[in-house]
A and B are shown apart, each in its own frame.
Chain A
Amino acid sequence: MWDAALVALERFASLSHLGMLLAGVLAGTVIGILPGLGGIACVAILLPFIYTLDVHTAMVLLIGSLAVVHTSDTITSVLIGTPGSAAAAATILDGHPLAKQGQAARALSAAFLSSMIGGLIGTLFLTLSLPIARPLVLLFGSPELLMLCVLGLSFAGFLTGGAPLKGGLAACLGLLLGSVGAAPAEAVYRYTFDQLYLADGIPLVGVALGIFGITEIVDLLAKGGRIAERVDLGEGWLQGVRDVVQHWGIVVRGSLIGVWAGILPGIGATAGSWMAYGHVVAMSRDKEQFGKGDIRGVIAPESANNSVEAGDLIPTLLFSVPGGAPAAILLGALYFYGIQPGPRMVQENLDLIFTIIWSFAFANAIGAGICLFLSPALARLTWVPFGRLAPAIVVTIFLGAFQSSQDFGDLFALLALGLLGWLMKQLGWPRAPFLVGFVLAKPTEQYLWLSISLYDLEWLLRPGVIALGLLLLASIFWMMFEKRRGKQRPVEESSDEAVLLGKAPSVLFTLCVAVVSGAALYEARSFPYLGAIFPVAAAVPTIFMAVAQLFFELRAPGMTSGFETQAKIRKALGYFSSLLLLFLMIWLLGFGIATALFTFFFLYASAGMRWFPALIYTGAMVGVALFMGWLLGLYWPQGLLLGLYRAS
């Protein structure tokens, strides 16, 4: 085994290998930074090159890029509260408040370092478990995987903060949204309203970008000025390094959680990083600062999200069963070279496995190094007037969302969920449980479906299920015990900001939630038994909780909102309209013209730029956006007006 490791290592002495690794790392770093673009985009861009290389070099390039995506995606999460990829959303909760407090450099360097160490621990674990991985993976049947998903969902409880009822409601809404589309065996299509777009469900990228990204951008714009009002220059990043050293235990635990989330099929990077976040909140004695900028809330998810990718290689290489989308593409690339991963892979292609492992380790170190080096400079971005950054961010978010299925539905979902996220934030509803519910909805339902189909109710008696069930009960008791001791304090994103909307909108929103879930329940009566379990299980508690919430809200004293809040709300709605306008313009005029008009007028009219620099900015922006679109193979539909003009 170790001979193969050395043979593979020797290859890295050659310039072509190192060059490919660097190229991959650079591509991955850039793509990771762009909101909404992650591993899949990386591969889509690199694929044409990959098909011309030999298998070892191709793997170096591919792994080089995949390994660093979850390192660099932290940058957007921390700086602008917009997830660089869906898996980076957990880092927002504490990373972004830190940036707003002017500690962006500290948050970034802590994130990069823990991401790197997490990735390296993941690699080590991957290497050590190669000989024993097969039986380990076979240990987990559908019922055990179901229990793991439920355990992950229960962690959402730790994210509900001071408003457990609203948190529970948000999680159930996430589950409900996740049940849109085909039920597991495609036996029935639920809540699709005959729209083909909804048949596969709403893409995760759109949900994460909408609920966090659009919300945060509109909020920052409405607030005006810069992201951070003061910036600690200088020693910030050293502080981040010290934080990681001090909390080394969290790094180790986080990366082990990540590796396991990767090894078990169906959990994935997004759920893995949330679990790591939930565990650190659960295990910390002092929780006051979580959600307001606690560095531990950055370290935990970051150490997990890289090691997930390492863990994911085990089912991919030993069973041909990819855990996440990037691994599925990696598998496709291996097929391309005529390699069918499987039990014989360890005997026949051990040196290839080690090429992959070494690439992963090196790419991690190099990628984190580059990001660490850049972090002081990046931190200064929080000092740029946000109005000037906004058009570029909005355009990349639209690009990233559109990339997931290249349908106008992507953009529509992005804006609709952006509005939902904004309302939730202004009404004090935590958004994290919503995302966790959405992410885990599909796997939870799949394994529930399979467990019942395979074992009826006997699955409840399996030893693994009982053990995980006890763990679940323990975590629930722990949560309640802590609450009674009054130790549990608000864990809520950006709770340092006052909520803007008052009593009447609050009541109206809750009423809407109740009505929507009632309608969902009514609709579910036509679904076959197995397809109905899940939507009913999500809708019924939602209705009860919404009624209870309504009761509390009606009894609460009304707030009179000041002049300043009203101005802020008006501003936010104005920015929402401008996003809607961009959407309509893309539809009418096509992407290129729409982006140009939006960018220019936004800079000129709203951000107060002079016309000449605004024109240059616009030109550069449109050029880059079209180039990216070309690289990603995006086909923007022709504008409706242009189509009419040509047809006449």
Chain B
Amino acid sequence: MKNMRFKARPPMRWLAALGLSLALATQALGAAPYYEGKTIETIIPFPVAGGSDIWIRIIGPYLEKQIPGNPKFNYRNIAGARGIPGMMEFAMKAKADGFLLLVSSATNYFPVLLGDKAAKYDFRQWKPLLVNPVGGIMYASPAAGVKRVEDLARAKNLIYGGISAIGLDMIPLISFELLEMDARGVLGFKGRGEARLAFERGETNIDYQTTPAYNAQVVPLIKEGKAIPLMTFGQLDEHGNIVRDPAVPDLPTVPEVYEKLKGKKPSGKFWDTYKVFMPSAFAVQKILWVKADAPAEVPAVFYAAAERLEKDKEFLTKTDKILGGYPLLRGDRLEKTIQQAFQIDADTQRFVKEWVGRKYRVKFD
């Protein structure tokens, strides 16, 4: 998206340029490109044809073309058990050579944030190569007495359908608490699609969908007057601030709605929780990783490829729907934000677990 403001800070830009020129220099000196004739194996801790699987499989061929030496990408799905076996496989097998990569998504970050002992992987040992944000848009049913976002303060008995309180649904559930809405989550749906069916049937009256599903499924409902768009979860700028979602710039973000309803900046425990969990769930959701001690030319060629793809017309039109209307970002631009996103202070963690445990009867071991 053009109006998205992700800019590298000067020293970062310098470093990247240096790395790139180094890579180019070695090439110019006659040395074969690092990846020439090589195969890059990519671990996907999700099933075939799931969101993350399609994401990497559709950008893979473009990376093959853009990376000097035209390496071949191989994909390996290790699905199930909250993605933990797949993550552990990468943690154990990856060497400092850049031939094994990992795709991760929100499911992989939440166990870490919630202190799940089974998730014995540490993001600090890895380096993000490419990042793709995902957007989430909330909407409500006019039958619930919501015509505009301001009505949320007065609306009674809002029901939200979700999959699990310790997954992406946590973001809308926290938003309800933050905005002090009279809303409750009913969890146990198999997917966001089924939750939307429940909304269409009138079983629930407030819902969210990710941007591509919103455009295909909810926009027609809005046109028929069966749904009212409310707000987005927002995206991050380069300093880690929550800003409007470039895919739907007309809709306010959750913190904006807070200001509108309460007349002051958001604060408090739920706001702290929102700031910790929203980035992992949406703003930096899909990440392609390499081990941190890989040779410098490994990240450099990926960053260069991302820069070239940003201007590649064919890539942009072909992948628009998959990337959800968001750019494919260089990992170094958001590296700090990403590493911050997976840090949580003990206080907030205790607060979240206590709240989910009490309100949604989630049992932590």
Contacts and interface: CB of A to CB of B under 8 A. Distances in A.
Interface of A: 40, 43-44, 47, 51, 137-138, 141-142, 184-189, 196-197, 199-200, 265-266, 319-322, 328-329, 331-333, 335-336, 338-344, 405-407, 446, 449-450, 453-454, 527-531, 633, 635
* Chain A CB within 10 Å, residue with most, of B165, B186, B198: B186
B194 interface: yes
Interface string B197-215: 1101101100000001101
B92 interface: no
Given A142-B198, A189-B363, A450-B198, 5 more contacts: A185-B163, A188-B363, A197-B81, A199-B82, A322-B193
Ranked 4 nearest A-B pairs via Cβ: A332-B49, A340-B216, A185-B187, A184-B188
B164 interface: yes
Given A47-B48, A196-B85, A405-B80, A453 B186 contact: yes
9 contacts: A44-B48, A187-B361, A266-B190, A321-B197, A339-B321, A340-B216, A341-B216, A344-B220, A454-B198
A521 to B, nearest CB: 18
Interface string B285-306: 0000000000000000000000
Nearest to A333: B49
B49 A43 contact: yes
Nearest to A139: B201
A141 B203 contact: yes
Contact of A328 (B49, B204, B321): B49
Contact of A40 (B48, B61, B212, B217): B48
Given A47-B49, A186-B166, A196 B187 contact: no
Contacts of B78: 406
B92 to A, nearest CB: 12
B50 A332 contact: yes
Given A138-B197, A187-B165, A332 B80 contact: no
Contacts of B322: 335-336, 338
A141 B216 contact: no
B315 interface: no
Contacts of B81: 196-197, 199-200, 405
Contacts of B217: 319-320, 340, 342-343
Interface string B134-173: 0000000000000000000000000100111111000000
A331 B54 CA distance: 11
Nearest to A342: B216
Interface string B49-65: 11101100110010000
B6 interface: no
Contact of A635 (B76, B163, B186, B360): B76
B210 to A, nearest CB: 11
B124 interface: no
Contacts of A185: 162-165, 187-188, 360, 362
Contact of B320 (A138, A266, A328, A338): A338
A40 B321 CA distance: 24
B362 to A, nearest CB: 5
Given A320-B213, A320-B216, A335 B360 contact: no
Contacts of A527: 363
Interface of B: 48-51, 53-54, 57-58, 61, 76-82, 84-85, 118, 159, 162-167, 186-191, 193-194, 196-198, 200-201, 203-204, 212-213, 215-217, 220, 318-322, 360-363, 365
Contact of B164 (A137, A186, A266, A339): A186
* Chain A CB within 10 Å, residue with most, of B54, B188, B204: B188
A331 B190 CA distance: 15
A528 B363 contact: yes
B84 A196 contact: yes
A432 to B, nearest CB: 26
Nearest to A143: B203
A331 B217 CA distance: 14
Given A40-B48, A47-B48, A188-B363, A453 B193 contact: no
B321 A184 contact: no
B362 A454 contact: no
A529 B194 CA distance: 24
* Chain B CB within 10 Å, residue with most, of A40, A333, A340: A340
Contacts of B360: 185, 187
A344 B216 contact: yes
A342 B167 contact: no
Contacts of A633: 76-77
B58 A336 contact: yes
A191 B196 CA distance: 31
A322 B193 CA distance: 9
Contacts of B193: 319-322
Contacts of B213: 320, 340
A593 to B, nearest CB: 22
B220 A343 contact: yes
Contacts of B362: 185-188
A309 to B, nearest CB: 16
A335 B50 CA distance: 10
Contacts of A406: 78
Given A185-B187, A341-B216, A335 B197 contact: no
Contacts of B194: 265, 321
B90 to A, nearest CB: 13
Contacts of A635: 76
Contacts of B320: 338
A265 B212 CA distance: 22
A339 B198 CA distance: 23
A339 B61 CA distance: 19
A454 B201 contact: no
Given A142-B198, A454-B186, A633-B76, A338 B164 contact: no
A185 B196 CA distance: 16
Contact of A450 (B188, B216, B220): B188
A453 B195 CA distance: 13
B117 to A, nearest CB: 10
A633 B217 CA distance: 34
Contacts of A530: 361
Contact of B188 (A335, A405, A453): A453
Given A142-B198, A265-B194, A336-B54, A450 B186 contact: yes
A528 B57 contact: no
Nearest to B184: A453
Contacts of B57: 51, 336
B319 to A, nearest CB: 8
Contacts of A187: 164-165, 187, 360-363
Nearest to B117: A194
A86 B61 CA distance: 35
A328 B54 CA distance: 12
A331 to B, nearest CB: 7
Contacts of A141: 198, 201, 203
A419 B165 CA distance: 38
B180 to A, nearest CB: 22
Contact of B215 (A333, A340, A529): A340
B203 A454 contact: yes
Contacts of B191: 321
Contacts of B85: 196, 407
Contacts of B203: 141-142, 454
A329 B49 contact: yes
Contacts of A338: 318-322
A126 to B, nearest CB: 19
